[in-house]
Amino acid sequence: MSMGLILYRSKYGATKKYVDMLRDELDCDVMESRDHSKIDFEKYRWIIFAGGIYASGISGLDVLRKNYKCLKSRRVAVFCVGASPFDEQTILEIKNRNLQGDLTYIPVFYGRGIWNESEMNLIDRTLCKMLQKSIAKKDPNLHEPWMKALISAVGQNCDWTDPKYLIPLMEYIKTENVEPINVE
């Protein structure tokens, strides 16, 4: 067990961009999460699950949930990608929503992604526009960071991906003296 694995799901490309950055820095295999049935999880020392945030859910985590028994003795981390600026409270809420029960020990890391309405599918574009309209009706003084980001991104193409967001995750993965938590 000397290698790592990054399993990812990328809908619009930001998660894949981060995964490519990680691949350049870490000794690991990379696979899309839809190919998870081909994986022998036992051969990996650590595993990163990477996916975008959509309606507060992290895409691709179904694989983590389905394979938890094989993974609980491995060092596991989640890297999620969203359009909002980093906000510790929001990330904690996303973690609490996505990693419940036996999965609460798994650390969650965050990277800011891409916003491009013209690339979104009809459903995502419609949901974002509805959310933007709803937020626009509220008092701007009460807007949370993600609300401000959503309003300011209207009609723009933005790429906020930055390797700096990967530093805490890489430090976690590379720290030798941190053992995986074996919850039995």
Give the three-state DSSP class for 158.
Answer: strand
Contact 26, 50 (CB under 8 A): no
* pLDDT band (50, 70, 90) for residue 183: very low
Would you call 45 exposed, middle or buried from its count of C-beta atoms within 10 A (0-12, 13-18, 19+)? middle
Residue 4 has pLDDT above 60, yes or no: yes
Q: Which two tokens stand for residue 39?
A: 């994986």
What is the per-residue pLDDT for 176? 62
Q: Which two tokens stand for residue 21?
A: 């950055």
The whole-angstrom distance between residue 164's C-alpha and the CA centroid of its chain comes to: 15
Rounded mean pLDDT, 138-164: 80
Residue 181 has pLDDT above 50, yes or no: no
Each residue's pLDDT tens digit, 8-63: 999 888 999 999 999 999 989 999 998 888 888 888 999 999 999 887 889 888 88
pTM above 0.85, yes or no: no
Contact 33, 51 (CB under 8 A): yes
- How far from 12 is each of 16, 45, 117, 120, CA to CA, in Å? 8, 29, 10, 7
CA atoms of 7 and 36, how far apart (whole Å): 8
